[in-house]
Structure formats: C-alpha cells, structure tokens
Amino acid sequence: MAIITQTKNGVAADAVVTRAPTPAPVSPAPPVRTYPPAVRYVAAGLRIGLGFVFLWAFLDKVFGFGFATPEKGAWINGGSPTKGFLANGASGPFEGFYHSIAGATWANWLFMVGLAGIGIALVTGVGLRIAAVAGSVLLVMMWTVVLPPENNPFIDDHLIYAGTLILLALLSAGDTFGLGRLWARTALVRRASWLR
C-alpha cells in the first residue's frame, strides 16, 4: 500500500493506492511416474493373473467346479464357502477364533464379496488401492488360519500375494491393459484419490 499526494483543482489530497499482493510461488505438479514398458507389461500381467486367482476362487466356491470345491459343496447347492477350511484346517494360535466363525452367514458373504470385488478390481484395473488393502487383509487372515505354515516356519504364498497386491497398487498397474487411467480421470476419483 502506498500514499500518493495528488492535486485536483489546486487542492492537495492523499490517495491510497493498493497493489495486489504478490502471489505465492506455485509449486509444479508432481511429475507423472512412468515406468519402462517391460515393467508396465509385467505388472499388468501379474495384476490380471492375480485377479483371475481371486475370481476363480469365487467361481469355484459358488458353482463347485470340482477343483477346490466339489459340486455338492458349492454355495448355490447350500454349501458354505468358509466352513470346510476354517472348521477343519484351522490350527495354531487363532484356531478358536476361526472355528467360531466357520460357516457363519456373515463370514460367508464377506469372504465371497471380498473375493469377487478384489478379483474384478484387479482384472479391470479399477480401484487398485482399495483392492490392495482389502486383499492384503484377506490374505494375511488366511495366512493366520494355519500357523505356522506347513512348508516354511514364517512365510507362505498368502504373504507373497499380499505384497504383490501392494506393489501393483504402488505401480498404478491398472493403467496398462486396464481401465485405471479412465477411472483416474473421473470426478469421483479426482476428489478422492484413495479410490484410485
């Protein structure tokens, strides 16, 4: 702000002149991370493959294709997606907890919705951050059903899959051979980036 003395018709008057404040420097937008094509293609392949692991588990438990679930144990035939594994396979420090929820309706629905949702998110490349969190929680819980693991005292494929899910979300693996870029441009995701 500055005070300037002016004369108008011979009369001195002070006028206050204000200047717009200097805008704060704007930091540039963070650079878009790009990875070499080989990294993007391998990540996309892992994402799609892992998505089919989840979707296959869902479909086999619903319809009982005879791989992990016999036809008579299919969910559509009255079987329970959680009862067999949790009631008969649980051991270790959490055995009592898993026995108590084996076959519960809420556990069946939560497990099956989780399998389907995570699988769809991975195959389409949409919502990988949510899929990574939900999938990691599900996989770590499955790891805790049988402690210690049968073939290694500490780690098994469930923990490796959980780590892979997190890595795929960090790499934005849904952008290659998926709908991740389109999803990221939606108004919803621009407002809530955690949905990416």
Nearest to 55 by CA among 103, 125, 116, 141: 116
* Distance (Å, whole) CA 118 – CA 135: 6
Cβ-based neighbour number of residue 18 at 10 Å? 7
**Facing residues of 146 across strands?**
91
* Distance (Å, whole) CA 109 – CA 93: 25
* Distance (Å, whole) CA 110 – CA 89: 19
Question: Could you tell me the sign of the dihedral formed by the alpha carbons of 63, 128, 86, 145, in that order?
Answer: positive
Domain ranges across the chain: 40-176+188-195
Global confidence as pTM: 0.80
| pLDDT tens, per residue, the chain with 196 residues | 555 555 556 555 555 555 666 665 554 544 556 889 999 999 999 999 999 999 999 999 999 999 999 999 999 999 999 999 999 999 999 999 999 999 999 999 999 999 999 999 999 999 999 999 999 999 999 999 999 888 888 899 999 999 999 999 999 999 999 999 999 999 999 999 999 9
